[in-house]
């Protein structure tokens, strides 16, 4: 509760779209100052000359207060360390020339997040892919309000059964509160990337890779059929909710989250493939046997109904054995002509 009371509240600056007027006025004053300095020089008006020279030296300071924003861009402004407000929306703005833009994440570019200018001065790799340092220009201090995509690299996580699984997620996110994003955390992009990693680990370890008996994935105390492979929508939603609960304090909104890669780790992938193949063979054999038994029962019933031949128990057993061999065998049956009898 104390954090909510002391959190910086976003303040939108309005009535600042007069950048074009200030630019025109500044140019006009330079022209007037140029004419005035010529006039004062001819008439030896010292005070006028001094004022014109001072304007030529310091008049450009007004131009530093001009800010241009495109749609879905924002600029957080501070004045001598104090938060002044946030410029939002497209337009040509004029603010206090001594205000400075503040964005601690300006030099960080997450994987697939084209939200900053890429004037490269260095590249480092991190969990979120390439992290690009950019020049500390005013343009790079702008905060994008667009929906961006964070594609974290694959993580090796143990599922609920302890099997190592490789998972990668793509998270769609955007900045909702610019003041919280820049003042409540040190670097909101790195903070988001770390929370994505921890959320994936926290959720994946609850589920088995495939459907498994006696596993509770919902927390209701009863076994269910939830799995990473079969319940991707449910797992993705839980990852999204987990991330949102962590990054709301930083003024970020998680729009969506999707699993982009899911597989067993290489060290057990071959063994798990053999296990799946064995399970598939057993299921296929079970289906074949069930069908063969049904066909044998149908054959015995038809023979009994038509009174085609009277079979004692031993002959029935022999016929059942032969039919099962023919129906369940992997190869075509080889007929054998019996010239004798069973006895």
Please tell me whether residues 239 and 286 are part of one structural domain: no
Cβ–Cβ < 8 Å for 170, 254: no
Classify residue 109: in a domain, yes or no: no
Residue in the structure block whose two tokens are 């590249």 = 123
Cβ pair 179, 10 in contact under 8 A: yes
Q: How far apart (Å, rounded) are the C-alpha atoms in residues 9 and 85?
A: 9
Report pLDDT digits (tens) over 215-240. 777 777 777 778 888 888 889 999 99
Cα(first)–Cα(last) distance of the chain, in Å? 93
Same structural domain, 177 and 231: yes
Rg (CA), the chain: 37
What confidence tens digit (pLDDT) does each residue in 109-131 have? Answer: 776 544 444 434 343 444 444 44
Same domain membership, residue 206 and residue 174: yes
* 127 within domain boundaries: no
Bridge partner list, 68 = 92
* Statement to judge: residues 72 and 165 lie in one domain: no
State the pTM of this model.
Answer: 0.68
Co-location of 247 and 150 in the same domain:
yes
1-54 pLDDT, tens digit per residue, is 344 456 788 888 876 778 788 888 888 988 888 888 888 888 878 888 888 888
Please check whether residue 338 lies inside any domain of the structure.
Answer: no
Same domain, 65 and 159: no
Total number of domains constituting the chain: 3
Q: Which two tokens stand for residue 102?
A: 């503040």
Residues 151 and 210 in one domain: yes
| Residue pair 13/86 in contact by the 8 Å Cβ criterion | yes
Q: Find the domain containing 195 and state its range.
A: 144-264
**What pLDDT, on the 0 to 100 scale, is given for residue 51?**
87
The pLDDT value given to residue 275 = 63
Give bridge partners of residue 69 from the DSSP assignment: 91
Describe the crossing of helices 313-328 and 266-306 by its angle, rounded to 10 degrees.
140
């Amino acid at each position: 509760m104390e954090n909510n009371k002391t959190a910086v509240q976003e303040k939108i600056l309005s009535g600042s779209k007069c950048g074009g007027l200030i630019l025109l006025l500044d140019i006009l004053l330079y022209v007037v100052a140029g004419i005035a300095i010529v006039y004062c020089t001819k008439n030896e008006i010292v005070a006028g000359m001094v004022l014109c020279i001072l304007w030529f030296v310091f008049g450009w300071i007004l131009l530093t207060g001009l800010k241009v924003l495109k749609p879905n861009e924002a600029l957080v402004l501070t004045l001598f360390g104090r938060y002044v407000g946030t410029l939002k929306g497209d337009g040509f703005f004029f603010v206090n020339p001594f205000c400075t833009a503040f964005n601690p994440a300006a030099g960080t570019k997450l994987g697939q997040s084209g939200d900053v200018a890429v004037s490269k001065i260095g590249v480092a790799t991190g969990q979120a892919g390439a992290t690009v340092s950019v020049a500390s220009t005013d343009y790079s201090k702008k905060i994008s309000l667009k929906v961006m995509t964070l594609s974290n690299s694959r993580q090796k996580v143990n599922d609920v059964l302890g099997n190592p699984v490789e998972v990668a997620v793509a998270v769609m996110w955007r900045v909702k509160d610019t003041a919280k994003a820049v003042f409540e955390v040190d670097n909101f992009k790195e903070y988001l990337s770390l929370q994505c990693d921890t959320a994936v680990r926290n959720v994946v370890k609850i589920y088995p890779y495939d459907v498994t008996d006696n596993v509770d994935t919902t927390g209701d105390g009863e076994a269910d059929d939830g799995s990473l492979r079969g319940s991707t929508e449910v797992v993705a939603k839980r990852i999204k909710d987990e991330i949102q609960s962590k990054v709301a304090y930083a003024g970020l909104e998680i729009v969506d989250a999707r699993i982009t890669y899911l597989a067993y780790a290489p060290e057990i992938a071959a063994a798990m493939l053999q296990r799946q193949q064995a399970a598939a063979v057993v299921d296929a054999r079970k289906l074949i046997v069930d069908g063969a038994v049904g066909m044998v029962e149908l054959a015995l019933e038809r023979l009994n109904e038509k009174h085609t031949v009277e079979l004692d128990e031993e002959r029935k057993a022999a016929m059942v054995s032969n039919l099962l061999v023919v129906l369940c065998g992997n190869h075509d049956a080889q007929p054998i002509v019996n010239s004798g009898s069973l006895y």
